[in-house]
């Protein structure tokens, strides 16, 4: 063990001598891209293997009762794996990345380099109605964080490597290098600077290249544009974008509400029972909810007539009732969020990438097919609008319009639809931000003041921690002490503020030297005044759980220069001075702005 440590120490010393930090970051970003692509390949192969083994003998014209059993088994096995092997919460992958960047200085637990792959492959392979992309994004970011930590990179570099991992993961699993880069900027909220652009590009391009080598150069979804986009359809595209924004709002709020129901259940078996029943029943009635749903996307964007599209009802109780196609698809839009949240709430592991694409494709198809049922204008191409719907839902749910545009273009090769993709994405995004200022990923952190954003001031305050600005060199006095004892405390202190606590450490108030200056040299009064009489209340109290943004708000409201800090029980911890916060702020700003 010691020889290995010595070897690694020698390598670190050699690297610092012969390879500059900038060059080494590029090397690490290349390694991150390679690892992300391989991780994405392993995850996709595991999911496909499990699904093939379980569903190979299904008959398309009959309802399959195994749909009632497989999902429950999947989330049960995943739950056991997470509780017994991982022993940590690995849900909400992208939210965990955002938290790691804003509150953990870019550190992500090392088990995330493999745990999400195993958990999500079991969940999705057995029919969990979630996506594999958020788990692989967490895996990629964990790979970047682990490499950075191993080679002792600083906080700023560590955060950059986390972003490289996210970019490489998206590029590797979707074969979409531009979308990987844009996703990191829009969703992970990593600021694009000259020093960060090249590493992100290297990770994205490397991961996408390896994906092309291992799985072929074809786009993930085969798409042939039969009809060109015409400007007369722009009003329909805008209406579709607004509809996608409203569906995104429903998806987001329903997801949060159902999650809250599962959160109130303490027993994992109660969560399994509720999630398993919801998921199995929904999949039995609506088989397209089984797994990621990418087969349905392929069907809708490549079908040419009703006979093709009606095969979406195969294996279901609706089989043979083609006249109910639109109703069937609308019901899937309504219940997809229930199936997704039941999967994760019941103990499974997965993300919202695939559900967003799935719902968007159906929403766009339903919109065009419905319009074509009326002689309002020339027929709308269902497959084109299905693509636009995918971009619209992704833009609305993730609050990432550029990611929606580039991802759909790269996923399908539909580059000739850039203009309508942009229109529908912006319309969807502008619609949902009227109701929800934060994406489904970031709203949990935003409520706690732990979200890192592109707003420089807020980003710096988010990265700052209360512990780094608390000053503890104040002389503590007690209410029963007299003025003479107070003068003794003053003589041993370099401060002009004296916190007052009782024997239990509860903060009671403070004594300001300016308030006792006129009596502090009158010895005849030393035994006549008690600290209890001399102390005053602070204009506000800070709590150790406050965010730095809340701290600055209290300073602004009170116009104070020093405020006491207590814990939730009211125990005195120290003081925070405005000047200390400003100094820490300047240091952090300089650190983040370095090229």
Cα 527 versus chain centre, distance: 61
Distance between CA atoms of residues 166 and 351, nearest Å? 14
CATH number of the domain located at residue range(s) 16-215 in this protein: 1.10.3080.10
For 68-88, letters b (16+ CB in 10 Å) and e give bbbbbbbbbbbbebbeeebee
Q: Check residue 574 and report its DSSP letter.
A: E
* Contact assessment for residue 578 and residue 548, using Cβ atoms and an 8 Å cutoff: no
Contact partners, residue 246, CB within 8 Å, separation at least 6: 431, 432
Superfamily of domain 231-447: Clc chloride channel (1.10.3080.10)
Distance between CA atoms of residues 175 and 205, nearest Å? 9
Contact partners, residue 466, CB within 8 Å, separation at least 6: 542, 544, 545, 546, 548, 551, 565, 576
Q: Please give the biggest Cα pair distance in the chain.
A: 103
State the number of CA atoms in the 13 A half-sphere of 575 facing the CB.
22
Q: Check residue 497 and report its DSSP letter.
A: E
Domain map (residue ranges) of the chain? 16-215, 231-447, 458-593
Contact partners, residue 531, CB within 8 Å, separation at least 6: 477, 478, 479, 480, 481, 482, 483, 485, 486, 500, 511
Per the DSSP assignment, residues forming a β-bridge with 510 are 499, 536
HEC profile for 196-220? HHHHHHHHHHHHHHHHHHHHCCCCC
CATH class given for the domain over 458-593? alpha beta
* Average pLDDT by stretches of 10, the chain with 595 residues: 66 78 89 95 92 72 69 90 85 70 71 90 89 88 90 81 91 91 80 75 94 86 77 91 96 91 88 89 86 87 80 74 84 93 89 90 93 74 91 92 90 83 95 86 56 46 65 85 81 83 88 78 74 84 79 81 86 84 63 48
Residue 305: count of CB within 10 angstroms of its CB: 8
Confidence (pLDDT) at 103:
61
Confidence (pLDDT) at 520:
72
Helix (H) or strand (E) holding 510: strand 507-512
Tabulate helix, strand, coil % of the chain (nearest 5): 65, 5, 30
Cα 437 versus chain centre, distance: 15
Confidence (pLDDT) at 245:
95
Distance between CA atoms of residues 561 and 576, nearest Å? 8
Residue 517: count of CB within 10 angstroms of its CB: 10
Contact partners, residue 87, CB within 8 Å, separation at least 6: none
- Is the sign of the CA dihedral 285, 287, 289, 291 positive or negative? positive
Helix (H) or strand (E) holding 542: strand 542-543
Confidence (pLDDT) at 55:
74
* Contact assessment for residue 172 and residue 158, using Cβ atoms and an 8 Å cutoff: no
CATH topology match: 16-215 vs 458-593: no
Q: Pseudo-torsion of CA 540, 546, 549, 555, nearest 10°?
A: 10
131 phi and psi angles, rounded to 5 deg = -110, 160
Confidence (pLDDT) at 156:
78
């Amino acid at each position: 063990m010691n020889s290995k440590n010595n070897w690694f120490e020698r390598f670190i010393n050699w690297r610092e001598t012969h390879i500059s930090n900038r060059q080494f970051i590029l090397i690490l970003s290349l390694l991150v891209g390679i690892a992300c692509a391989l991780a994405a390949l392993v995850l996709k192969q595991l999911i496909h293997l499990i699904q093939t083994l379980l569903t190979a003998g299904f008959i398309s014209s009959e309802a399959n009762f195994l749909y009632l059993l497989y999902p429950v088994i999947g989330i049960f096995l995943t739950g056991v794996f997470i509780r017994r092997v991982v022993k940590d919460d690995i849900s909400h992958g992208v939210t965990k990345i955002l938290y790691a960047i804003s509150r953990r200085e870019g550190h992500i637990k090392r088990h995330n380099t493999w745990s999400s792959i195993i958990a999500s492959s079991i969940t999705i392979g057995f029919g969990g109605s979630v996506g594999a992309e958020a788990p692989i994004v967490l895996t990629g970011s964990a790979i970047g964080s682990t490499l950075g930590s191993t080679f002792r990179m600083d906080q700023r570099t560590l955060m950059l490597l986390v972003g490289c991992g996210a970019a490489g993961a998206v590029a590797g699993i979707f074969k979409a290098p531009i979308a990987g880069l844009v996703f990191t900027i829009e969703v992970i909220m990593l600021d694009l600077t000259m020093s960060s652009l090249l590493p992100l590009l290297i990770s994205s391009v490397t991961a996408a290249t390896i994906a092309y080598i291992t799985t072929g150069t074809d786009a993930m979804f085969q798409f042939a544009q039969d009809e060109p986009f015409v400007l007369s359809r722009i009003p329909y595209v805008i209406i579709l974008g607004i509809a996608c924004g409203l569906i995104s709002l429903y998806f987001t709020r329903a997801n949060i509400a159902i999650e809250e129901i599962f959160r109130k259940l303490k027993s994992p078996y109660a969560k399994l029972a509720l999630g398993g029943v919801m998921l199995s029943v929904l999949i039995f009635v609506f088989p397209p909810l089984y797994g990621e749903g990418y087969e349905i996307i392929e069907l809708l964007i490549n079908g040419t007539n009703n006979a093709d599209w009606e095969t979406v009802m195969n294996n279901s109780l609706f089989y043979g009732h083609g006249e109910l196609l639109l109703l069937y698809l609308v019901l899937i839009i309504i219940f997809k969020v229930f199936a997704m949240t039941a999967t994760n709430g019941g103990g499974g592991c997965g993300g919202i990438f695939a559900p967003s694409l799935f719902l968007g494709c159906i929403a766009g198809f339903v919109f065009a097919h419905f319009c074509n049922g009326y002689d309002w204008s020339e027929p709308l191409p269902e497959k084109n609008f299905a693509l636009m719907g995918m971009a619209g839902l992704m833009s609305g749910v993730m609050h990432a319009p550029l990611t929606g545009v580039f991802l759909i273009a790269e996923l399908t090769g539909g580059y000739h639809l850039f203009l309508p993709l942009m229109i529908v994405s912006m319309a969807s995004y502008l619609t949902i931000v009227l109701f929800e200022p934060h994406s489904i990923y970031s709203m949990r952190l935003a409520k706690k003041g732990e979200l890192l954003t592109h707003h420089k001031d807020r980003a710096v305050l988010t990265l700052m921690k209360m512990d780094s600005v608390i000053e503890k060199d104040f002389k503590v006095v007690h209410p029963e002490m007299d003025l003479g004892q107070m003068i003794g405390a003053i003589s041993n202190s370099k401060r002009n503020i004296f916190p007052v606590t009782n024997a239990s450490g509860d903060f009671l108030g403070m004594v300001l030297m300016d308030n006792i200056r006129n009596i502090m040299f009158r010895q005849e009064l030393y035994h006549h005044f008690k600290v209890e009489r001399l102390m005053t209340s602070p204009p506000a109290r800070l709590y150790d759980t406050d965010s730095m943004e809340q701290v600055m708000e209290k300073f602004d409201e009170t116009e104070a220069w020093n405020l006491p800090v207590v814990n939730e029980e009211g125990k005195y911890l120290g003081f925070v001075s405005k000047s200390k916060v400003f100094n820490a702020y300047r240091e952090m700003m300089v650190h983040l702005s370095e090229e």
